[in-house]
Each structure stands twice: as C-alpha cells, then as structure tokens.
C-alpha cells in the first residue's frame, strides 16, 4: 500500500495528530533558516520548541520573539499560529473545496470529531463559516489594535504589530512581538477590550459561534433553540471570566496592583482572568503574583477554553459536567441533567476519565521534569521553589496557555522536550491520543459477580 493510501485509511484522530506534527516539522525547518533569526542560527531544539509552541498556540518561548527572530522568522511564527489555531485539517478541507475537489469520508469524520458534538450534515458549511469568521474577527481586531499603536510606531509598524497580535489573540497563542508582552499597555481600555474580545471569540469554540450566528440571523419563523453545548459553554465562560476577574482583583489589589488607578486594576483583573485560561498574554508580572493567585491561575489554565476552539485545557464543558455530576450525586439522582436535558452516561464517564488522565499526565511530566533537570545538574533557578515553578510551566503547556514564571528560557534540553510533548498533547487533546493508543472501539469486557469495596 502506498503512503497516500495509508494516510487515507488512517483513523480521523491519527489524521489530526499527523497534520499537527507535519506543520511542526515544517515550521522547525523554516525557523532554522539563517534569515529567520537575527544571529543567523538557532539551536535545533529551540527551533522545534518555538514551532511546536506556535502550532499548538501555546506561546511559551525559549527566546524573545521580538528581538531574536527577524521579520521573516516572526512571519513564519505568525503563519504557524494561524495554521495551528484553525487546524491543518480545517484549512486543507477549505482549500480542497475552494479548488472544487472532493473531500474524503475520513476527512469529513475528522472534522466531525473536532467541530461537532452531534452528527451534522453541514460539516463542510461549518468549516467554511469557521474560515470566514476567523478572517473577519482577525481583520477587525488588527484594525483596532493598529489604530491604537499608530502614534507610537508609525503606520507600517503599527499595522504589522496589529496583525500579529490580532491573530495571536484570536488563536489564543499568546505570542507577542514585545519583549514584555502587554505590560506596557495595561491602561489602554480599547486595546485591552479588543485583545480580550479576540481571545474570548477564539476560545468559545467554532460550533458555538456558528450556532449563535444562525440563531441571531434567523429572520423568518421561530428562532432555533440553542443546544445544551452552546448554553453550557456560554454560562461557564461567563462565570469563569467574572469570578476570575473578581478574585484576581481582591487577591492582587495590595500586591502587584498596589497604588495603581482603579481603572488599571479593573482592566488588569479582567485581562488576566481572560488570558489565563488559554491565551498567555499578561499585563502584570506573573512571577510576582501571590501563591493564592497562582492557585487561581492553575485552575483557569487547567480547564482552559471550550471544545472545538483554538484553546487547550480539559475544556469548560468538562468543568460544567463535573459540577452537574457532583450536584446530582449530592441530590442522590442517577442521571446528570443540564438545562432540562439528560446527559448520556457515556459522556459523563468520558469526562471523569479525561480528568483523571489529564491530572495523571501532568503529574508524570512534572515528576520527570524535576527528576531529569536535577539528575543532569541543570535545575533552573526558581525563586518561588522548583516544585511550584515547574508545576506552573507544566500546566501552562498542557493548557496551551503560554504563561510562565520565567522558567522557559532556563529549561534544559530534556525539559524542553517534555514541555514540547505536553504542548502537543494539550493542543491535540487527551481523548485524541487515547483513540490513537487504544483505538476508538469499545468492548464490554468480562463481567464477574459483584463485590463491594469501601471508598471514602
């Protein structure tokens, strides 16, 4: 069988993973070119790390993006962010349809797995609307950001920075051409709200955006009822943003934001609440946050964005299902109900498995990071303690967030490889890897007589 034949027979989960790996390899080669860096060279592991971080829309950087890379190198990173945010499969399907070529059944199934919570016939229409919505949102964001920076940088550079940050924000990447990320622009109301708006739009999930658009543009007859998926995503996102901003304000009011104007405190709290879940931009020094605030950031990074979006994490719907499951057990109810609908038991079970496996992966990688860097005598300096700093880096990579307490540039080669693996797992998804490793089929297994075990 030819290579093309093997690709066509590959499981949709394998197609998704393979597409990301191909993009990462291509990005690594391009970033290794002499004219991609100011110095004319970059260590191979650093090129691989940067390409992975861009394709997985994470934002962790071992070198300063704004000074280490040339405009060519930054443009490569920008292209990788766009490809990674939309997904290689999404772009390829769109281009095939645009050229009038047919789409294979497995490509359709891959799109179905990524962008639809229930089977739908208009999956290609959804893909097309994803592309159009993305380009429109990024264009509007680029115009707004460029207008804010035109007095500081001039028209040409303002347009460049505006486009770069609009794409990076919408794709929840967190890459910035500024060495201090967005800390110099913490007082800009329009700038902060624009970046937050792009991050939220990119993190809601394309199926939710598509459903909201169809609901809002319905002109004749009764508007279609929003699905449980859309309602769950909207309410959970709203609660996380509001609660995160309030808690950040209360915790950091007398710390990193001490003495700042009230407007700055409100904007900084809102910005961090939004960006901590998936994006990785920051307007305050993350390394100076209180331990309690870092615990809040851990929580936001772990759950991340919503399914079918540009962001990572175990997703907002997982948090909502866990809360609904806990409430149903407290009320001694067998079924998990949300918005007057019962959630399939298989979905609830998958949610529990996802949580346990995700926590297990983070724990294993953290252990290997601490063990590896200590064993080779390269334990990075960590003012807040190695455990906390490495844990923050691991969760940030898994959630494809990109925030760091300053550890990333100090990672050893071993540490960089582990974080690379975490970024890939976080972007592609734990369940996708599970399908690849154990297969998508289910088996009833052997059923024995029951015997109880004490728990709790």
DSSP labels for 242-271?
HHHHHHHHHHHTTTTTTT--HHHHHHHHHH
The backbone region for 174, taken as left when phi is positive above 0, alpha when psi lies in -120 to 50, beta otherwise, is left
Q: What is d(CA 68, CA 74) in angstroms, rounded to the nearest whole number?
A: 9
Lowest average pLDDT, out of 48-52, 238-242, 398-402, goes to 398-402
Is residue 185 packed enough to be buried (19+ CB in 10 Å), middle (13-18) or exposed (0-12)?
Answer: buried
Residues 406-419 pLDDT 10s: 888 888 888 999 99
Helix (H), strand (E) counts: the chain = 18, 2
Q: What is d(CA 285, CA 406) in angstroms, rounded to the nearest whole number?
A: 10
Residues 78-110 pLDDT 10s: 999 998 887 755 655 555 555 455 555 555 555
Residues 47-58 pLDDT 10s: 999 999 999 989
Residues 222-235 pLDDT 10s: 777 888 999 999 99
Lowest average pLDDT, out of 191-200, 331-340, 365-374, 434-443, goes to 434-443
């Amino acid at each position: 069988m030819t290579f093309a034949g093997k690709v066509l027979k590959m499981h949709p989960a394998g197609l998704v993973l393979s597409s990301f790996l191909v993009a990462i390899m291509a990005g690594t080669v391009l970033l290794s070119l002499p004219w991609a860096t100011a110095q004319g060279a970059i260590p191979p592991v650093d090129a691989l790390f940067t390409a992975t971080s861009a394709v997985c829309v994470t934002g962790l950087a071992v070198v300063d993006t704004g000074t280490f890379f040339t405009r060519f190198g930054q443009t490569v990173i920008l292209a990788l962010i766009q490809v990674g945010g939309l997904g290689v499969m999404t772009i390829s399907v769109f281009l095939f349809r645009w050229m009038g070529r047919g789409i294979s059944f497995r490509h359709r199934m891959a799109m179905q797995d990524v962008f639809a919570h229930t089977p739908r016939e208009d999956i290609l229409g959804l893909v097309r609307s994803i592309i159009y919505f993305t380009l429109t949102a990024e264009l509007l964001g680029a115009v707004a950001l460029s207008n804010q920076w035109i007095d500081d940088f001039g028209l040409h550079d303002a347009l460049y920075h505006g486009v770069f940050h609009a794409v990076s924000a919408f794709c929840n990447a967190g890459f910035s051409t500024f060495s201090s990320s967005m800390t110099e622009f913490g007082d800009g109301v329009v700038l902060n709200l624009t970046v937050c708006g792009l991050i939220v739009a990119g993190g809601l999930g394309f199926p939710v955006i598509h459903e909201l658009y169809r609901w809002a543009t319905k002109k004749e007859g009764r508007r279609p009822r929003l699905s449980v998926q859309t309602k769950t995503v909207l309410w959970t996102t709203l609660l996380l943003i509001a609660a995160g901003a309030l808690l950040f304000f209360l915790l950091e009011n007398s710390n990193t934001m001490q003495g700042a104007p009230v407007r700055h405190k409100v904007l900084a709290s809102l910005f961090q609440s939004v960006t901590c879940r998936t994006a990785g931009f920051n307007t305050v020094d993350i390394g100076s946050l209180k331990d309690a605030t870092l615990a809040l950031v851990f929580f936001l990074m772990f759950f991340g964005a919503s399914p079918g979006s540009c962001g990572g994490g175990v997703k907002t719907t997982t948090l909502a299902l866990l809360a609904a499951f806990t409430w149903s057990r407290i009320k001694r109810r067998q079924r998990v109900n949300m918005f007057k609908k019962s959630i399939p038991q298989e979905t609830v079970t998958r949610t529990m498995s996802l949580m346990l496996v995700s926590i297990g992966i983070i724990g294993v990688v953290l252990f290997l990071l601490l063990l590896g860097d200590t064993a080779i005598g390269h334990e990075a300096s960590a003012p807040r303690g190695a455990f906390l700093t490495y844990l923050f880096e691991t969760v940030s990579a898994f959630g494809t967030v990109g925030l760091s307490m300053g550890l990333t540039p100090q990672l050893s080669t071993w540490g960089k490889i582990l974080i690379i693996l975490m970024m890939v797992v976080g972007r592609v998804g734990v369940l996708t890897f599970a399908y690849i490793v154990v297969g998508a089929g289910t088996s009833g297994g052997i059923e024995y007589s029951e015997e109880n075990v004490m728990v709790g």
